[in-house]
Amino acid sequence: MNLYEQRSSNIRRTWALVLGFLILVIAIGYAIAWYYGNPFILYVAVFIAFATNFYAYWESDKLVLSLSHARPATREEFFDLYTVTENLAITAGLPKPKLFVIDDPAPNAFATGRDENHAVVCATTGLLAMLSRAELEGVIAHELSHIKNRDILLMTIAVVLAGFVAIVADIFLRMSLFGGGRDNDKQGNALIMILAVVGIVLAPIAAKLLQMAVSRRREFLADASGVLLTRYPEGLASALTKISGANIPMRHASHATAHLFIDEPFGKAEGSKLAWVEGLFATHPPIHERIQALLSKQQA
């Protein structure tokens, strides 16, 4: 499968995953409504799910930029960022995205927005200070590929929907601490009730795992697509080496937006006894695997 076929498949998977999230939310609302014997809860859950999606679609970039403490980047202050982005956007056939920066020494970057015409690319000042122009081109090409491949919409929706599932589950669990639910005389439904409660407890975990899986898969595709823009895989490989080697956690890192960045914004606990556990729940594939994939493409 070539990159163009992967892109078409990627778009189909995007809407399939969005539908899957909505079904999950409706299922949770149904379980809560059944447990409390109140169908109105289901109607509320469905309404909030669609309202949340609507908000995420129209205001995703503002939400992410606010959480990241980003500010607009001027051409005068960040000339290389502007010119590199302009040139690569022309090459990719994309409108030039809005540019923002985060005042943070940790080297990192991300793209967000709802489509090609409403996209944002954001980089930290640490990244801009650390990378050469060729390396910066590799990173910006990676982020523009997320825009071209229609990743940014799904990634933002995943943030909002996963958070919504977690909030609904938390509300239900808190309510259950104060009693309520169906009468005890319905013993025949005890097993179903247990399964419903277990499902509600596990739903946030499932949403998070799906969010991470989406991010990991698409990082490799964005790396490959970015190389097609620059024709220089060593640039992105070298940038990833520097970013990983710095291992500086961002000041305002958020679990809600971690999967948007080109690398983990929390740093890595190297040598920790729990490092393998952290790897299981990491939002990004290991840097060395991405670098190896890039350099192997060059050799091929």
Contacts of 113 (CB under 8 A, 6+ apart): 60, 61, 97, 119, 120, 147, 152, 153, 156
- Distance, CA of 106 to CA of 125 (rounded, Å): 8
- Distance, CA of 62 to CA of 156 (rounded, Å): 11
Catalytic option among 5, 76, 137, 143: 143
Which residue shows structure tokens 């920790």? Answer: 272
| 8 A C-beta contact, residue 203 and residue 165 | yes
- N- to C-terminal Cα separation, the chain: 16
- Distance, CA of 215 to CA of 257 (rounded, Å): 11
> What is the edge-to-edge ordering of all strands in the sheet holding 109-113?
71-72, 98-102, 119-124, 109-113
- Distance, CA of 20 to CA of 26 (rounded, Å): 10
The dihedral built from the CA positions of residue 265, 224, 79 and 96, taken in this order, carries a sign that is negative
* Cβ atoms < 10 Å from Cβ of 114: 17
Q: Is position 270 annotated as part of the catalytic site?
A: no
| DSSP β-bridge partners for residue 211 | none
**Which residues in the chain belong to E strands, given as ranges?**
71-72, 98-102, 109-113, 119-124
Catalogue the active-site residues. 143
